[in-house]
């Protein structure tokens, strides 16, 4: 048997041994012996057993291939197949495989959590992989010694050539890169499964709307829209007046909401125009609604006019829309409003049947004694 072939046989045995230990550790984890698992059956990534298929099987298998390729690469480089050298090669391969998992987890944490947790447990899986090799590396070493003795009795084996060594190193690098990809995709699939299980366990919203999804894509609600804001020296600027949200009102098939602009300063202020309105959905994104200036069934629009708000008094505006079915819909869970377009919006949690596609009419600011 050529020396190169013998090395790959030894590497394959080390990979199979890795896979065997991982399988036994998975079985022991379900028994009262799980506390001694890491002592007798060390594995750098025990959590992969809970990953969804196929990652729970694919990740240990790729790790075993990486161990086999690393053992073969090391033995091709050192060109020495003694019992001690082979055992040390298996220990090194376990450490390299564990360090690869360490690196994937560490840099994954860096991208998701920043520098705060960057180096947590760095090297721990490398140590576990080396410990695995220390416990069980003598078995592939025995196989290597047996094959060496058999070759010594027969035809002399040819030593591994440099091209074969380069090929073995390339195979090891490729296997480790594939392990990184498998760990990343498997971890993502596991997190997605956890989120799906949590969503399934949560009770459905009583209004039948779509449950909140923290991973949903969407546009955040802008803090302000295009506009000139409050103009004039006596304008009802945010340092003089604030918006208060009223309670929803209803008529058959129609809905309304009152907004109040309270002048909390000690001098009159002036406001003219329409409040700036937007809605956020249950995922915190901008709800696709049409905001129209004008009246509705619930309120008449007096049109934009200059309104003087005395100190301690208020101006009012009204929102109006038609009742909508909320079943299976994105729905308003936050009301965003500013005095006029161009000012910074404030927000309030709401329970309104304003769904995606709803048209909401907004009246201009008016004196509170105006007839709605």
356 and 253 in a common domain: yes
Q: How many domains does the chain have?
A: 2
The pLDDT value given to residue 145: 87
Average pLDDT over residues 14-40: 83
184 and 255 in a common domain: no
What are φ and ψ of residue 266, in 5° steps?
A: -100, 20
The pLDDT value given to residue 93: 94
Band of pLDDT at residue 29, cut at 50, 70 and 90: confident
The pLDDT value given to residue 152: 57
In a domain, 71, yes or no: yes
Cα 263 from Cα 318, distance rounded (Å): 18
Average pLDDT over residues 104-108: 78
Among 94-108, 233-247, 286-300, 314-328, the range scoring the smallest mean pLDDT is 94-108
In a domain, 207, yes or no: no
256 and 137 in a common domain: no
Do 187 and 56 meet the contact criterion of CB atoms below 8 Å apart?
A: no
Place of tokens 């949690």: 349
The pLDDT value given to residue 156: 47
The pLDDT value given to residue 121: 64
355 and 256 in a common domain: yes
The pLDDT value given to residue 207: 77
- Token pair in block for residue 298: 């619930």
Q: Which residues contact 268 (CB under 8 A, 6 or more apart)?
A: 234, 308, 309, 310, 311
In a domain, 168, yes or no: yes
Question: What is the average pLDDT score of the chain?
Answer: 87
- Token pair in block for residue 50: 């809970």
Last residue of a domain, one of 181, 201, 221: 201
pLDDT surpassing 80 at residue 262: yes
Cα 253 from Cα 255, distance rounded (Å): 7
What is the end-to-end Cα distance of the chain in Å, rounded? 97
In a domain, 101, yes or no: yes
The pLDDT value given to residue 265: 94
- Token pair in block for residue 10: 């030894």
In a domain, 218, yes or no: no
pLDDT surpassing 70 at residue 151: no
127 and 9 in a common domain: yes
DSSP at 301: -
Last residue of a domain, one of 201, 230, 254: 201
Among 75-79, 120-124, 181-185, the range scoring the smallest mean pLDDT is 120-124
In a domain, 229, yes or no: no
Higher-scoring residue by pLDDT: 87, 39: 87
Average pLDDT over residues 206-229: 87
109 and 54 in a common domain: yes
Domain that holds residue 326: 241-362
Higher-scoring residue by pLDDT: 102, 202: 102
Average pLDDT over residues 63-81: 89
- Token pair in block for residue 92: 């090194």
Last residue of a domain, one of 174, 201, 228: 201
The pLDDT value given to residue 2: 59
Helix (H) or strand (E) holding 320: strand 314-322
Among 6-20, 70-84, 159-173, 190-204, the range scoring the smallest mean pLDDT is 190-204
The pLDDT value given to residue 320: 95
What are φ and ψ of residue 337, in 5° steps?
A: -150, 145
How many residues in total does the chain contain?
Answer: 372
190 and 96 in a common domain: yes
Do 176 and 96 meet the contact criterion of CB atoms below 8 Å apart?
A: yes
In a domain, 215, yes or no: no
In a domain, 210, yes or no: no
Q: What percent of the chain has pLDDT over 70?
A: 90
| b (16+ CB within 10 A) / e for 248-264 | ebeeeeebbbbbbbbbe
pLDDT surpassing 60 at residue 155: no
Q: What percent of the chain has pLDDT over 90?
A: 55
**Which residue from 133, 153, 132 is spatially nearest to 141, judged by alpha carbons?**
133
Among 84-93, 162-171, 283-292, 331-340, the range scoring the smallest mean pLDDT is 162-171
The pLDDT value given to residue 66: 95
36 and 142 in a common domain: yes
Place of tokens 């819909």: 329
Higher-scoring residue by pLDDT: 151, 275: 275
* Phi-psi group of 349: left, alpha or beta (phi > 0 → left; psi -120 to 50 → alpha; rest → beta): beta
Q: Would strands 276-280 and 334-338 be described as parallel, antiparallel, or unpaired?
A: antiparallel
pLDDT surpassing 60 at residue 116: no
The pLDDT value given to residue 120: 58
The pLDDT value given to residue 252: 87
157 and 22 in a common domain: yes
The pLDDT value given to residue 25: 86
pLDDT surpassing 60 at residue 1: no
Give the C-alpha distances (Å, rounded to integers) separating 44 from 73, 87, 176. Answer: 21, 19, 14
Helix (H) or strand (E) holding 359: strand 359-362
286 and 179 in a common domain: no
Do 100 and 62 meet the contact criterion of CB atoms below 8 Å apart?
A: no
pLDDT surpassing 80 at residue 225: yes
The CATH number for 305's domain is 2.60.40
265 and 346 in a common domain: yes
178 and 251 in a common domain: no
């Amino acid at each position: 048997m050529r020396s190169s072939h013998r090395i790959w046989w030894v590497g394959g045995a080390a990979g199979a041994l890795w896979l065997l230990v991982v399988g036994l550790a998975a079985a022991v984890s379900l028994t009262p012996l799980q506390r001694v698992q890491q002592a007798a059956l060390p594995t750098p990534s025990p959590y992969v057993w809970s990953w969804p298929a196929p990652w729970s099987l694919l990740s240990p298998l790729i790790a075993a291939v990486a161990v086999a390729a690393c053992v073969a690469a090391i033995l091709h480089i050192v060109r020495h197949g003694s019992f001690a050298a082979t055992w040390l090669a298996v220990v090194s391969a376990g450490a390299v495989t564990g360090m690869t998992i360490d690196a994937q987890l560490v840099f994954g944490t860096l991208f998701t959590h920043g520098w705060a947790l960057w180096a947590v447990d760095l090297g721990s899986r490398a140590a576990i992989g080396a410990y695995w090799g220390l416990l069980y590396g003598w078995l592939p070493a025995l196989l290597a010694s047996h094959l060496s003795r058999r070759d010594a009795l027969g035809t002399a084996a040819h030593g591994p050539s440099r091209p074969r060594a380069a090929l073995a190193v390339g195979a090891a690098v490729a296997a480790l890169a594939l392990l990184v990809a498998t760990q990343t995709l498997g971890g993502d699939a596991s997190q997605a499964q956890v989120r799906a299980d949590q969503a399934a366990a949560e009770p459905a919203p009583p209004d039948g709307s779509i449950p909140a999804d923290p991973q949903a894509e969407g546009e955040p609600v802008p803090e302000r829209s295009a506009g000139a804001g409050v103009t004039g020296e006596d304008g009802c600027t945010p340092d003089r007046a604030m918006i208060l949200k009223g309670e929803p009102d209803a008529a058959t098939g129609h809905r309304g909401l009152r907004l109040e602009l309270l002048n909390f300063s000690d001098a009159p202020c002036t406001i003219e125009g329409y409040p700036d309105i937007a809605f956020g959905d249950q995922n915190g994104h901008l709800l696709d609604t049409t905001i129209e200036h004008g009246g509705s069934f619930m309120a008449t629009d007096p049109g934009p006019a200059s309104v003087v708000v005395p100190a301690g008094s208020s101006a009012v505006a009204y929102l109006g829309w038609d009742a909508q079915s909320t079943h299976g819909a994105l729905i308003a869970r936050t009301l965003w409003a500013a005095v006029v377009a161009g000012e910074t919006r404030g927000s309030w949690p709401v329970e309104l049947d304003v769904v995606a596609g709803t048209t909401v009419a907004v009246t201009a600011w008016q004196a509170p004694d105006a007839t709605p």
